[in-house]
Structure 1
Amino acid sequence: MTDMDGLLLIPHLRVQNANVTAGPLSWGFPSPTAFLGFAHALERKLRDLWDLQFTGVAIVCHHFEPLTTQPNRRRHQVFNLMRHPVRAGYRKWQDKDAALIEEGRAHMEISLLLETEGDFDDEADEFLEMLSETVLGMRLAGGSILPSRGAGSKPLWQVWWDEEAQNLASFRKLRRQLLPGFALVHRPDLLTERLNKLREHSPDTNTLDALMDLSALHVEPEANEQGKIHWQYRRSPGWIVPLPIGYSGLSALYPPGEVANTRDSTTPFRFVESLYSLGQWISPHRIHHPHHLMWRYQTDEHNGLYLCANDYTTTLNRE
């Protein structure tokens, strides 16, 4: 756990056309990397006027609407794809080899709870007003942020005191703003448990097999007392989902400017691939401490790992 000075709630952000194909193996709610990146970009925009740092992000979803359609005489859904050329201004559409980026989109309503270091109690109202204006000019997971409507849509600042009992009482009031909704947490323990169970019958099973087994819909036969066979669903406990949590390096870390066509010439560069784990959606009223919700960066440059980590399982076992 990290020390913090307060909790900053940005409630009920309406995001239009967010990218929901964050990883190569799944689609759905955006990866935690999108929300940590948003918090980092927000911190940089506010840093010139306010001495603050966002050290963790809690993600709560209130509404999620994928932009899909059902083809004629089909049962499955397909994305209303937006096809953008890789190179801006590329006009040789007659070239069938022209590369396109196909993206699935969704509208969503989310709340973010930011773990904050920095003291601005005397100027909290001015800070929250500037925060609201700044957020509306940003993008989240590639989507546009629209003005929130109704009561309870303004950011809130909750001071984190030295007295733990007082802090938890304040957090219980704050988490009411997160309802109704579901919070995203990390559950690698469930993935490890399923992997160990599968290896009892097949020792060659790997972690990807366990993830696919947990994510799949299993329909299995079962005989009753009369010997008749009926089919039933095998359901995993809880609302669990495959989750892209970061990247693993595929190459050495190149010095700035050595690789052509990178984003900038001042940052080291490394080719990477996506890493998957298991996430779970839980109701915020079951959370008793904000540390259970926080997603944070976890970097291991020596091994080429750039991850988003959540301490829900660790703190749960500690209690």
Structure 2
Amino acid sequence: METRHRLFWLALTGLGLVRAHRWLKIPGSSDFVVTLHHVRPAPPAGSFAPQTLLEITPEFLDRFIGDFKARGWQFVSVEEIITRPAAPAARRIAITLDDGFRDNMVHAWPVFRRHRAPFTIFVCTGFADADAEAPLWWEAAEAVIAKADAVPVPGEAPAGEMPSRSLPEKNAAFRAWSGWLMNLPEGERRRAIIDLAARHRVDLGALVRSLVMTWDEIREIAADPLCTIGAHTLTHPTLARLSREEATREMVVSADRIEAKTGARPIAIAFPYGSVGAAGEREAQLAAEAGFLASFTTRPGFIAATGTRHGLPRVSINGYFQRLHFLHALLNPGLWALKSRLRR
């Protein structure tokens, strides 16, 4: 766990110990949208699993929904959050999952059905198409490092190799490669991961097909009234780095593709990565112009009753914080209202 995540873990632990969810309150209704990525069994202890930040277990998902329902929270669809004002003092949560991973269908869907909890899957259409222009670069980097005893030092010019035999070496290699790839322009990132995968004989198409739902599977899960399919762009780019025309195309073509494949046009889009630097006011405006009713970031917070439907926050539930008392603190509008006041 990185230092910043460890500090956040300690802060949430402190809030949980003092039962902050009981006293850190604001009047009125509370609406939250949460985001997940992978939902799957925990990796074996001591295995190379550098992306546990992006996964939770189905058992924890089950505990989360059951606990919050018992505390009076309502689990509703994204559409209800954005189109129907909450009743006074109502507490509502909408669950979203990004990218369209198959484990959402295998492991998360049964949990949602058991609890009758609505959910939205934001599908990256290039992943579903196994498009070479949309490689799952972070998964590809993990797959390469998992099998390799050494990998090139990341960078534009050859700079030798870094070892990746032991678990600490593999984790260091993944941090180096993922950090470098994340900051590359889209085309350079694509070429870099294609080259790395080719050197180590990792089939990117097969990797995507093993991890992501096919269109047949997407149609199957979308037939469940609990499920809504949203857009997550065409190739999963950092939209803020693209021109207006390129960013608009990523949004519109992905919505077109989902409509063609499922028969329903998505009403909402989640911006890839979703940070301040990845998607800002321009992207929110472009999403509105593209016809989406709502757009979502990954910046944490609650849905304020301001009337805006674009650039909305989502609270990430990830593998580092699989404790209910963490969620009691995170899903508390008083926490985010206090944070906002302290920034002024």
Which protein is bigger by CA-based radius of gyration?
1
Q: TM-score, normalised by structure 2?
A: 0.24
Q: Which has the higher helix share?
A: 2
- In terms of fraction of residues, the more strand-rich structure is 1
